Amino acid sequence: MIEKLSDEARSAALSGLPDWTHDAERDAITRQFRFADFSEAFAFMTRAALLAEKMDHHPEWFNVYNKVEVTLITHDCDGLSERDVAMAKAMDGFA
């Protein structure tokens, strides 16, 4: 079973993800990525999709041209988990 982060663990994780915003209502994190063009945005999404398949943890996202809006939440625990933190860090690296 995947465990939801405690308040303390969530705060610590968010301090290491300065570009992500906590959505307290859903206990999720969100970020908007901007790229030079659609090709770069799509390449980012492809790298993230391959990792998501490996992790069996898939983001909620929306793409228009050079923007990709991402929401990460672990539905199995109805909130933020270590899986979301790991995915966010990887996405930051891909960008």
Question: What pLDDT, in 10s, does the model give residues 29-58?
Answer: 999 999 999 999 999 999 999 999 999 999
**Which pTM was predicted?**
0.94
Q: Is 14 exposed, middle or buried (0-12, 13-18, 19+ CB in 10 A)?
A: middle
What is the pLDDT confidence band of residue 1, given thresholds at 50, 70 and 90? confident
Q: Which domains does the chain have, with CATH numbers?
A: 7-94 (3.30.1360.20)
Q: What pLDDT is attached to residue 11?
A: 96
- Mean pLDDT rounded to a whole number for the chain: 96
